Structure 1
Amino acid sequence: MIASRRWYASIGSLLVTSVLVTSCSSSLTAGTPVTEHSASPAPPAVAPPSPAAPEPPPPSSDDDQIRQTVQAFQDAYNTQNWDAYKEQMCPAMRDQFTDGPVMDLLKKTRADGGLTRATVSAVDIDGDVATVTLDSQNEASGNLAPTLRLERGDGWKICVR
Protein backbone atom coordinates (compact mmCIF):
# COMPACT_ATOMS: atom_id res chain seq x y z
CA MET A 1 0.00 0.00 0.00
CA ILE A 2 2.85 2.41 0.81
CA ALA A 3 4.59 1.56 -2.47
CA SER A 4 1.30 2.11 -4.28
CA ARG A 5 0.81 5.54 -2.66
CA ARG A 6 4.37 6.51 -3.48
CA TRP A 7 3.82 5.44 -7.09
CA TYR A 8 0.62 7.49 -7.37
CA ALA A 9 2.28 10.43 -5.64
CA SER A 10 5.22 10.25 -8.04
CA ILE A 11 2.98 9.89 -11.06
CA GLY A 12 0.66 12.64 -9.90
CA SER A 13 3.40 15.09 -9.10
CA LEU A 14 5.52 14.16 -12.08
CA LEU A 15 2.86 14.03 -14.70
CA VAL A 16 1.17 17.13 -13.57
CA THR A 17 4.26 19.22 -13.15
CA SER A 18 5.83 18.60 -16.49
CA VAL A 19 5.31 21.68 -18.56
CA LEU A 20 4.39 24.21 -15.91
CA VAL A 21 7.21 26.50 -16.92
CA THR A 22 4.89 28.51 -19.04
CA SER A 23 4.81 31.99 -17.70
CA CYS A 24 1.76 34.14 -17.90
CA SER A 25 1.78 37.86 -17.99
CA SER A 26 -0.88 40.44 -17.93
CA SER A 27 -0.79 44.06 -18.79
CA LEU A 28 -3.05 46.92 -17.95
CA THR A 29 -4.42 49.09 -20.69
CA ALA A 30 -5.95 52.47 -20.32
CA GLY A 31 -9.67 52.61 -20.96
CA THR A 32 -11.03 54.32 -24.03
CA PRO A 33 -13.96 56.66 -23.52
CA VAL A 34 -17.19 55.61 -25.18
CA THR A 35 -19.19 58.26 -26.99
CA GLU A 36 -22.94 58.38 -26.92
CA HIS A 37 -24.72 57.11 -30.03
CA SER A 38 -26.46 59.70 -32.13
CA ALA A 39 -30.05 59.39 -33.30
CA SER A 40 -28.99 58.66 -36.87
CA PRO A 41 -26.44 55.89 -37.10
CA ALA A 42 -23.56 56.27 -39.48
CA PRO A 43 -23.66 53.97 -42.49
CA PRO A 44 -21.67 50.78 -41.91
CA ALA A 45 -18.18 50.76 -43.31
CA VAL A 46 -17.75 48.22 -46.04
CA ALA A 47 -14.39 46.59 -46.28
CA PRO A 48 -13.11 45.88 -49.74
CA PRO A 49 -13.09 42.18 -50.55
CA SER A 50 -9.79 40.53 -49.83
CA PRO A 51 -8.05 38.97 -52.79
CA ALA A 52 -7.45 35.65 -50.99
CA ALA A 53 -8.31 34.24 -47.61
CA PRO A 54 -5.30 33.90 -45.33
CA GLU A 55 -3.86 30.44 -45.07
CA PRO A 56 -4.61 28.59 -41.85
CA PRO A 57 -1.67 28.19 -39.52
CA PRO A 58 0.30 24.99 -39.96
CA PRO A 59 -0.65 22.17 -37.59
CA SER A 60 1.32 21.95 -34.38
CA SER A 61 4.27 19.61 -34.47
CA ASP A 62 4.12 16.33 -32.54
CA ASP A 63 6.62 17.81 -30.08
CA ASP A 64 4.38 20.85 -29.49
CA GLN A 65 1.27 18.69 -29.12
CA ILE A 66 3.03 16.44 -26.60
CA ARG A 67 4.20 19.43 -24.56
CA GLN A 68 0.65 20.87 -24.62
CA THR A 69 -0.77 17.55 -23.41
CA VAL A 70 1.68 17.38 -20.52
CA GLN A 71 0.96 21.02 -19.64
CA ALA A 72 -2.80 20.43 -19.67
CA PHE A 73 -2.31 17.33 -17.51
CA GLN A 74 -0.25 19.28 -14.99
CA ASP A 75 -2.67 22.22 -14.96
CA ALA A 76 -5.62 19.88 -14.34
CA TYR A 77 -3.76 18.19 -11.48
CA ASN A 78 -2.76 21.45 -9.83
CA THR A 79 -6.30 22.87 -10.11
CA GLN A 80 -7.83 19.53 -9.11
CA ASN A 81 -9.95 19.43 -12.27
CA TRP A 82 -10.17 15.64 -12.34
CA ASP A 83 -12.34 15.42 -15.47
CA ALA A 84 -9.77 17.44 -17.45
CA TYR A 85 -6.99 15.37 -15.82
CA LYS A 86 -8.52 12.12 -17.04
CA GLU A 87 -9.11 13.60 -20.52
CA GLN A 88 -5.33 13.77 -20.99
CA MET A 89 -5.01 10.01 -20.42
CA CYS A 90 -5.23 7.20 -22.95
CA PRO A 91 -8.39 5.07 -22.56
CA ALA A 92 -6.52 2.17 -20.88
CA MET A 93 -5.10 4.47 -18.22
CA ARG A 94 -8.32 6.48 -17.85
CA ASP A 95 -10.22 3.27 -17.05
CA GLN A 96 -8.00 2.82 -13.97
CA PHE A 97 -8.87 6.32 -12.71
CA THR A 98 -12.57 5.84 -12.18
CA ASP A 99 -14.23 7.03 -9.02
CA GLY A 100 -13.22 4.93 -6.07
CA PRO A 101 -9.96 4.02 -4.32
CA VAL A 102 -7.60 5.11 -7.12
CA MET A 103 -9.18 8.56 -7.45
CA ASP A 104 -9.46 8.90 -3.69
CA LEU A 105 -5.73 8.20 -3.38
CA LEU A 106 -4.90 10.64 -6.20
CA LYS A 107 -6.98 13.39 -4.56
CA LYS A 108 -5.35 12.74 -1.19
CA THR A 109 -1.89 12.75 -2.78
CA ARG A 110 -2.63 16.11 -4.43
CA ALA A 111 -4.04 17.59 -1.21
CA ASP A 112 -1.08 16.37 0.87
CA GLY A 113 1.62 17.01 -1.73
CA GLY A 114 0.63 20.43 -2.98
CA LEU A 115 1.45 21.93 -6.34
CA THR A 116 3.78 20.38 -8.84
CA ARG A 117 5.86 22.28 -11.40
CA ALA A 118 7.65 20.55 -14.21
CA THR A 119 9.41 21.28 -17.44
CA VAL A 120 9.83 18.90 -20.33
CA SER A 121 13.55 18.33 -20.67
CA ALA A 122 13.37 15.80 -23.52
CA VAL A 123 10.85 14.32 -25.95
CA ASP A 124 11.63 11.11 -27.84
CA ILE A 125 9.06 10.17 -30.47
CA ASP A 126 8.97 6.72 -32.06
CA GLY A 127 5.96 6.49 -34.36
CA ASP A 128 2.81 6.71 -32.25
CA VAL A 129 4.65 6.42 -28.91
CA ALA A 130 6.59 9.14 -27.15
CA THR A 131 8.70 9.20 -24.03
CA VAL A 132 8.94 12.49 -22.16
CA THR A 133 11.54 13.23 -19.51
CA LEU A 134 10.58 15.86 -16.96
CA ASP A 135 12.38 18.04 -14.48
CA SER A 136 9.79 18.27 -11.76
CA GLN A 137 9.41 19.85 -8.36
CA ASN A 138 6.63 19.10 -5.91
CA GLU A 139 6.00 21.08 -2.73
CA ALA A 140 6.13 17.93 -0.59
CA SER A 141 8.22 15.45 -2.62
CA GLY A 142 10.96 17.78 -3.79
CA ASN A 143 12.76 17.38 -7.11
CA LEU A 144 12.13 14.43 -9.38
CA ALA A 145 13.05 13.50 -12.95
CA PRO A 146 10.28 11.15 -14.06
CA THR A 147 9.56 9.90 -17.53
CA LEU A 148 6.10 9.68 -19.06
CA ARG A 149 4.87 7.56 -21.90
CA LEU A 150 2.42 9.09 -24.33
CA GLU A 151 0.56 7.41 -27.15
CA ARG A 152 -1.03 8.94 -30.20
CA GLY A 153 -4.66 8.02 -30.65
CA ASP A 154 -7.22 10.76 -30.53
CA GLY A 155 -4.35 13.20 -30.08
CA TRP A 156 -1.36 12.56 -27.79
CA LYS A 157 -2.43 11.08 -24.45
CA ILE A 158 -0.51 10.11 -21.33
CA CYS A 159 -0.45 6.35 -21.06
CA VAL A 160 1.63 5.00 -18.18
CA ARG A 161 1.43 1.23 -18.18
Structure 2
Amino acid sequence: MSLLAAAALVACSSGGQPVSQQTGAPTSATAAPATTVAAPPPPPPSDEDQIKETVLAYQDAYNTQNWDAYADLLCTAMRQKFTGVVMEMLKKTRHDNGLTQVKSITPQVTGDTAVVTMDAENETMGTSTVQLPLKREDGWKICVTR
Protein backbone atom coordinates (compact mmCIF):
# COMPACT_ATOMS: atom_id res chain seq x y z
CA MET A 1 0.00 0.00 0.00
CA SER A 2 1.33 3.41 -0.83
CA LEU A 3 2.03 5.99 1.84
CA LEU A 4 -0.77 8.22 0.52
CA ALA A 5 -3.27 5.34 0.51
CA ALA A 6 -2.28 4.38 4.08
CA ALA A 7 -2.71 8.00 5.26
CA ALA A 8 -6.15 8.16 3.66
CA LEU A 9 -7.12 4.85 5.32
CA VAL A 10 -5.97 6.08 8.77
CA ALA A 11 -7.87 9.36 8.37
CA CYS A 12 -11.06 7.55 7.36
CA SER A 13 -10.85 4.98 10.18
CA SER A 14 -10.41 7.69 12.83
CA GLY A 15 -13.79 9.15 12.09
CA GLY A 16 -12.26 12.38 10.90
CA GLN A 17 -10.41 12.95 14.21
CA PRO A 18 -6.71 13.78 14.01
CA VAL A 19 -4.51 10.76 14.37
CA SER A 20 -1.05 11.05 15.84
CA GLN A 21 1.52 8.80 14.28
CA GLN A 22 5.17 8.74 15.23
CA THR A 23 7.51 8.61 12.28
CA GLY A 24 11.10 9.60 11.80
CA ALA A 25 10.13 12.10 9.10
CA PRO A 26 9.93 15.77 10.09
CA THR A 27 6.51 17.39 10.02
CA SER A 28 5.87 20.59 8.16
CA ALA A 29 6.24 22.50 11.43
CA THR A 30 9.71 21.08 12.07
CA ALA A 31 10.93 20.53 8.52
CA ALA A 32 13.97 22.45 7.39
CA PRO A 33 13.12 25.30 5.03
CA ALA A 34 13.25 24.36 1.38
CA THR A 35 16.22 25.72 -0.45
CA THR A 36 16.04 26.75 -4.04
CA VAL A 37 19.00 25.81 -6.16
CA ALA A 38 19.64 28.56 -8.65
CA ALA A 39 20.44 27.51 -12.17
CA PRO A 40 23.96 28.42 -13.19
CA PRO A 41 24.19 31.59 -15.24
CA PRO A 42 24.27 31.06 -18.99
CA PRO A 43 27.69 31.13 -20.60
CA PRO A 44 28.73 34.46 -22.10
CA PRO A 45 27.95 34.87 -25.80
CA SER A 46 30.64 33.60 -28.16
CA ASP A 47 32.82 36.03 -30.10
CA GLU A 48 30.85 35.14 -33.22
CA ASP A 49 27.53 35.97 -31.52
CA GLN A 50 28.91 39.24 -30.12
CA ILE A 51 30.21 40.20 -33.56
CA LYS A 52 26.84 39.46 -35.16
CA GLU A 53 25.14 41.63 -32.53
CA THR A 54 27.60 44.45 -33.26
CA VAL A 55 27.00 44.27 -37.01
CA LEU A 56 23.22 44.29 -36.56
CA ALA A 57 23.43 47.23 -34.13
CA TYR A 58 25.65 49.03 -36.68
CA GLN A 59 23.05 48.41 -39.40
CA ASP A 60 20.28 49.65 -37.10
CA ALA A 61 22.17 52.81 -36.12
CA TYR A 62 22.84 53.57 -39.80
CA ASN A 63 19.25 52.93 -40.87
CA THR A 64 17.73 54.99 -38.04
CA GLN A 65 20.37 57.69 -38.47
CA ASN A 66 21.34 57.38 -34.81
CA TRP A 67 24.81 58.81 -35.35
CA ASP A 68 25.80 58.70 -31.66
CA ALA A 69 25.06 54.95 -31.52
CA TYR A 70 26.84 54.55 -34.88
CA ALA A 71 29.96 56.27 -33.54
CA ASP A 72 29.88 54.12 -30.37
CA LEU A 73 30.20 51.03 -32.58
CA LEU A 74 33.42 52.28 -34.21
CA CYS A 75 36.92 51.56 -32.91
CA THR A 76 38.81 54.55 -31.54
CA ALA A 77 40.97 55.02 -34.65
CA MET A 78 37.93 55.00 -36.94
CA ARG A 79 35.80 57.16 -34.65
CA GLN A 80 38.47 59.87 -34.73
CA LYS A 81 38.09 60.03 -38.53
CA PHE A 82 34.28 60.23 -38.45
CA THR A 83 33.93 63.91 -37.69
CA GLY A 84 33.17 67.03 -39.68
CA VAL A 85 33.14 66.51 -43.43
CA VAL A 86 33.39 62.71 -43.19
CA MET A 87 30.33 62.52 -40.95
CA GLU A 88 28.41 64.87 -43.24
CA MET A 89 29.28 62.65 -46.23
CA LEU A 90 28.05 59.59 -44.32
CA LYS A 91 24.73 61.32 -43.55
CA LYS A 92 24.32 62.34 -47.20
CA THR A 93 25.14 58.80 -48.38
CA ARG A 94 22.54 57.37 -46.00
CA HIS A 95 19.96 59.89 -47.19
CA ASP A 96 20.70 59.23 -50.88
CA ASN A 97 21.03 55.43 -50.69
CA GLY A 98 18.27 54.58 -48.23
CA LEU A 99 18.05 51.60 -45.89
CA THR A 100 20.44 48.67 -45.80
CA GLN A 101 19.46 45.19 -44.61
CA VAL A 102 22.08 42.61 -43.70
CA LYS A 103 21.02 39.21 -45.03
CA SER A 104 23.84 37.03 -43.68
CA ILE A 105 26.84 37.49 -41.39
CA THR A 106 29.83 35.16 -41.36
CA PRO A 107 32.55 36.20 -38.90
CA GLN A 108 36.11 34.88 -38.94
CA VAL A 109 37.88 35.64 -35.66
CA THR A 110 41.65 35.82 -35.28
CA GLY A 111 42.51 36.77 -31.71
CA ASP A 112 41.31 40.32 -31.11
CA THR A 113 40.42 41.02 -34.73
CA ALA A 114 37.78 39.66 -37.03
CA VAL A 115 36.55 39.98 -40.57
CA VAL A 116 32.87 39.66 -41.28
CA THR A 117 31.70 38.62 -44.70
CA MET A 118 28.11 39.72 -45.10
CA ASP A 119 25.49 39.85 -47.77
CA ALA A 120 23.61 43.12 -47.62
CA GLU A 121 20.84 44.68 -49.62
CA ASN A 122 20.46 48.42 -50.08
CA GLU A 123 17.38 50.19 -51.44
CA THR A 124 19.24 51.88 -54.29
CA MET A 125 22.45 49.89 -54.64
CA GLY A 126 20.97 46.38 -54.65
CA THR A 127 22.61 43.31 -53.12
CA SER A 128 26.32 42.93 -52.53
CA THR A 129 28.79 40.93 -50.49
CA VAL A 130 30.94 43.09 -48.24
CA GLN A 131 33.83 42.36 -45.91
CA LEU A 132 33.95 44.41 -42.74
CA PRO A 133 36.88 44.36 -40.28
CA LEU A 134 36.28 44.48 -36.53
CA LYS A 135 38.52 44.86 -33.52
CA ARG A 136 38.00 43.85 -29.90
CA GLU A 137 38.11 47.16 -28.06
CA ASP A 138 35.77 47.29 -25.08
CA GLY A 139 33.58 44.85 -26.99
CA TRP A 140 33.68 44.29 -30.74
CA LYS A 141 33.90 47.48 -32.83
CA ILE A 142 33.80 48.16 -36.55
CA CYS A 143 37.34 49.12 -37.48
CA VAL A 144 38.08 50.14 -41.07
CA THR A 145 41.31 52.11 -40.77
CA ARG A 146 42.41 52.55 -44.37
How many angstroms does 1:49 deviate by? 5.7
**Whole-Å separation in 1 of the counterparts to 2:72 and 2:113:** 18
* Structure 1 residue ranges without an equivalent (≥5): 1-47
* Correspondence 1:34-73 to 2 at 5 A: 50-73=35-58
- Would you identify which runs of 4 or more consecutive aligned residues in structure 1 move more than 4 Å? none
Q: Secondary structure at the match of 1:146?
A: strand
- Output the amino acid matched with 1:136: A
Question: Of the candidates 115, 128, 134, which is equivalent to residue 150 of structure 1?
Answer: 134
Contact 1:67/1:120 (8 A) holds in 2? no
**In the alignment, which residue of structure 1 is the partner of 2:29?**
none
CA spacing shift, 1:133–1:50, aligned 2, 3 Å: same
Amino acid at match of 1:91: T
Matches within 5 A, 1:1-161: 50-98=35-83, 100-161=84-145
Amino acid at match of 1:81: N
In the TM superposition, what is the alpha-carbon distance from 1:50 to its structure 2 partner?
4.0
Q: Measured at CA, do residues 49 and 104 of structure 1 come closer, stay the same or move farther in structure 2, by a change above 3 Å?
A: farther
Write the distance in 2 (CA, Å) between the matches of 1:133 and 1:50: 49
Instruction: Tell me the residue number matched to 1:38.
Output: none
Query: How many Å apart are 1:55 and its aligned residue?
Result: 1.6
Deviations 1:6-57 (A, max 9, x none): xxxxxxxxxxxxxxxxxxxxxxxxxxxxxxxxxxxxxxxxxx7642222211
Q: Quickly say closer, same or farther: Cα 1:49–1:159, change in 2 above 3 A.
A: farther
For the aligned residue pairs, the C-alpha RMSD in angstroms reads 1.3
**CA shift for structure 1 position 140:** 1.1
**Is the 2:52–2:105 contact (alpha carbons within 8 Å) kept by the matching residues of 1?**
no
Structure with higher RCO (Cα < 8 A, 6+ apart): 1
Q: Percent identity?
A: 56
Q: Which amino acid aligns with 1:107?
A: K
Equivalent pair of 2:105/2:116 in contact (CA under 8 Å): yes
After superposition, the Cα gap between the structure-2 partners of 1:49 and 1:83, relative to the gap in structure 1 and judged at 3 Å, is farther
State TM-score, norm by structure 1. 0.67
How many residues of Structure 1 are paired with residues of Structure 2 in the alignment?
113
Query: Alignment partner of 1:67: what SS?
Result: helix
